[in-house]
Structure 1
Amino acid sequence: MQQPTKAFQVLATVTDYTRFCGLPAPAHPLLTLIDLAGARHAPPPAPLPPVMQQLYTVWLKRDFKGRLHYGHQAYDFSEGVLGFVAPGQVFSVDETLDISELSGWMLVFHPDLLRKYPLGQKITSYGFFSYQVHEALHISAQEEALLDGLLATLRGEYERPIDAFSQDVLVSQIELLLSYANRFYHRQFLTRRAPAHDLLSRFEALLAAYFATEGPRPLPTVQHFADALHVSPAYLSDLLRSLTGQNTQQHIHHVLIERAKLLLRSTSLTVNETAFRLGFEYPQYFSRLFKSKTGLTPAAYRFSAH
C-alpha cells in the first residue's frame, strides 16, 4: 500500500474494477467474485497507475512468495491471508510482485448494494476495513475452509439470474462473512500476544514521554501515536482495546487527566494556564473533559486536593 498521489485512476463501479483488471464484465452490477488463480493470467493494466476505488473489497490470498510484514515484524505464512479495502482508499500494483502461484478469491461490491440494509451502517464499525495491508488477517486452514464454504454459497447466488430476492440473499451472505472475519480478527489479537504486548509497552512509553516534555505542544492525537508505531489508527485502537479494554483515545485521556491533576495539585498555574500547558487551545474544552472524567471541575478538584 502506497501513499496517495495526485495522479490516480478512480474505479467508481464494479465494472470499472473488472475492466481495470482485464476481467470479464460482472454478472451483477453491484458485486463480483474473482477467482485469483484465474485472474493472475489476466494482462495487467499498462501503465500501472495508483488507483482509488469507491468499492469494498474482501480478499483471501494464498501462495504468497516471500514474507509479509505485520507491524514491526515479518512472518512467513503458509495459510491464507484475509484482507479488506474500504471505499476511498488508494493502492498501487507492485510491478515486481510475483503472483505466478497466487490463488484464492476476491469479493468486490459497491456501497449501494448495502444502502437500504442495516449492514450499510454497521460495516463502518469494522476497524479492519481501515487497516493497512501489512496488518492483514492470517487465518488457519480450518477458518479458511469455513470462508471458502461461505463464498461457495455466495457464488451460487451470484451466478443465478437476478430476481426480487437476490440482493437480500447476497447482503445476508456478506454480513455473515464479515461477522466471521470480526471473530477471526479478535482471535488474532489473542494468539499474537507477545507482539501485541510489545506494541502496548512502546505505546505507553511514547505516551508518557509526550506528557513529560516541558513547553508548549499540541494535544496528542491517535494518528500521532499510530504513525510513531507504524500501524494504522484503527489497528492500534483495536489492539489496545483487546489488551486493556480501552481504545487509544481513552488511554490518551487517562494520562492527560492524570497530568492535569498533578499540575492542579502541585503548581500555582491557573486553570486556563493548566489547559494551555497541556496543549488545549480552548480552556473550556479542558474543563468539560476534566469534569466528564472526574466528576469535578478543575477548580473544585484543586480545592478538594488541599
Structure 2
Amino acid sequence: MKQPAQEFQVLETVTDYTRFYELPAPAHPLLTLIDLQPSGGAGPAASRPEVLGPVVPGLYTVFLKRNLNGPLYYGHHTYDFREGVMGFSAPGQVFRVARELDTSRLSGWMLVFHPDLLRHHPLARKIASYGFFAYDVHEALHLSASEEALLDTLLLGLRQEYERPIDAFSQDVLVAQLEVLLHYANRFYHRQFLTRRTAGHDLLQRFEALLAAYFTPGAARPLPTVRYFADELHVSVAYLSDLLRTLTHQNAQQHIHHALIERAKHLLLSTNLTISETAFQLGFEYPQYFSRLFKRKTGRSPAAFRTEGWFQ
C-alpha cells in the first residue's frame, strides 16, 4: 500500500490517474472505465482505492460503488458506501480515503474522462447544467436493479468503443454515448426526488422554516444566499436547488426572492421606513438594487406599491 500523501496530489490527465492508482494504462487518452472488484475478482485488484489522499483529479468521474465499507471523504463531507450508490464529481473535487476503509467486497465501476473529450461538442457547455456533478457524496443516486442493468448495457457499448482503434469518429461516438448516460442519470435523479418524497418534503419544510426565521422582524441582516441555507441544511447548493425545483417548480434563489419581496411588502405598508431604510433593513447594500428587484418581481416600484397598496 502506498504511504498517505501529505499534500494534495493533483491528477491532471487520465494517465496520471491510472498511474497514481496503479491501474492498467488507459486504452484511450481521454477516457477510461475501471472495474472495481474484490481481491480475486474478475477485475484488477489494483482498482481498489488504496491511496489515502488527499487527491484532486482534474477530471470528471462517474461511479457506481457497492459494498465499500467505511468512510470516504469527499470535499468537507463523509459518506459510508455500504449501499450501492452512483455518484458524480467534476474536476477540482477533493477526495480522501480513511485508513479503516474495507474494500474486500468492493464491486462496481468508475468512468473517468478528461474535459478535453468534450471539446467542440455541445456537451462541453451542457455538462455544467447537470447539477449532480456538484452534489455531495451523501446525496448520491440510489439505483434500482433495472436501472443498474440499463447502465451496465450503456457502459458495455462505451467500453467497446473506447477499446477500438481511434479514428475520425471515435470522439463523436464516445461523447454521444456519454451524453446518453448522463441523460439517464438525470432521469434517475428526478425519479429519486419523487420517490423519496418524505425525505424531500422534510428538507423543503426545514428550508421554509429557515427562510421564514431569516426574515422575521429584528435586527437587519445581510441578504441571504443559497449557500447559507444549503450549509444550514447540510446539503450542497446544487442539490438543494434541484430538489426544490422538482418539488415546487422553483429553485432556491426564487424561493429566497419570494420571501424577500413578501417581507418588503410588509415593511412598505406597515412601517414609516423610507425606501432606502427598507432596503437596508432587508440586507441590501445599495437601495437601487432593492428597487430594481422589487419592480422586476411585482411590476411596480416600492414607492408606487406603498401608494397603491396590496390590491392595485
What is the TM-score normalised by the length of structure 2?
A: 0.90
The answer to whether the 8 A contact 2:86-2:141 is kept is yes
Q: Cα distance 1:44–1:247, how it changes in 2: closer, same or farther (>3 A)? A: closer
Q: Which of 200, 205, 209 in structure 2 is aligned with 1:201?
A: 205
Counterpart residue number, 2:21: 21
Query: Could you list the per-position Cα deviations for residues 40-98 of structure 1 after superposition, in whole angstroms to 9, with x for gaps in the alignment?
Result: 4457656x331111110001112333799xxxxx99975x3110000111111222111
Query: Could you list the per-position Cα deviations for residues 137-184 of structure 1 after superposition, in whole angstroms to 9, with x for gaps in the alignment?
Result: 000000000000000000001111111111111100000000000000
Q: How does 1:186-265 map to 2 (within 5 A)?
A: 186-265=190-269
Partner SS state of residue 32, structure 2: strand
Give the Cα–Cα distance (whole angstroms) in 2 for the partners of residues 10 and 96 of structure 1: 23
Q: Which of 155, 160, 164 in structure 2 is aligned with 1:156?
A: 160
Query: Could you list the per-position Cα deviations for residues 251-289 of structure 1 after superposition, in whole angstroms to 9, with x for gaps in the alignment?
Result: 000000000000000111010000000000111110110
Q: Which amino acid aligns with 2:120?
A: K
Give the Cα–Cα distance (whole angstroms) in 2 for the partners of residues 295 and 274 of structure 1: 18
Q: Which amino acid aligns with 1:28?
A: H
The answer to whether the 8 A contact 2:70-2:101 is kept is no
- 1:104: how far off? 1.0
Give the Cα–Cα distance (whole angstroms) in 2 for the partners of residues 40 and 86 of structure 1: 25
The RMSD of aligned alpha carbons is: 2.2
Q: Which consecutive residues of structure 1, in runs of 5 or more, have no partner in the other structure?
A: 1-5, 69-73
Partner SS state of residue 105, structure 1: strand
Give the Cα–Cα distance (whole angstroms) in 1 for the partners of residues 90 and 10 of structure 2: 13
Count of matched residue pairs? 296
Give the Cα–Cα distance (whole angstroms) in 1 for the partners of residues 53 and 82 of structure 2: 29
1:83 aligns with 2:87: yes
Q: Cα distance 1:41–1:22, how it changes in 2: closer, same or farther (>3 A)? A: closer
Counterpart residue number, 1:139: 143
- 1:113: how far off? 0.5
The answer to whether the 8 A contact 1:23-1:42 is kept is yes
Give the Cα–Cα distance (whole angstroms) in 1 for the partners of residues 217 and 81 of structure 2: 40
- The 4+ residue runs of structure 1 with deviation greater than 3 A are 39-46, 64-68, 74-78
Q: Cα distance 1:93–1:67, how it changes in 2: closer, same or farther (>3 A)? A: closer
Q: Which consecutive residues of structure 2, in runs of 5 or more, have no partner in the other structure?
A: 1-5, 38-42, 73-78
Partner SS state of residue 10, structure 2: strand
Query: Could you list the per-position Cα deviations for residues 223-255 of structure 1 after superposition, in whole angstroms to 9, with x for gaps in the alignment?
Result: 000000000010011111111111100000000
**Relative contact order higher in (CA < 8 Å, ≥ 6 apart):** 1
Counterpart residue number, 2:170: 166
Q: Cα distance 1:40–1:194, how it changes in 2: closer, same or farther (>3 A)? A: farther
Q: How does 1:281-300 map to 2 (within 5 A)?
A: 281-300=285-304
Give the Cα–Cα distance (whole angstroms) in 2 for the partners of residues 76 and 215 of structure 1: 44
Partner SS state of residue 83, structure 1: strand
Instruction: Percent identity, please.
Output: 72
What is the TM-score normalised by the length of structure 1?
A: 0.92
The answer to whether the 8 A contact 1:40-1:100 is kept is no
The answer to whether the 8 A contact 2:58-2:114 is kept is yes
Partner SS state of residue 69, structure 2: coil
Q: Which amino acid aligns with 2:218?
A: E
Give the Cα–Cα distance (whole angstroms) in 2 for the partners of residues 213 and 94 of structure 1: 45
Give the Cα–Cα distance (whole angstroms) in 2 for the partners of residues 87 and 256 of structure 1: 34
The answer to whether the 8 A contact 1:126-1:182 is kept is yes
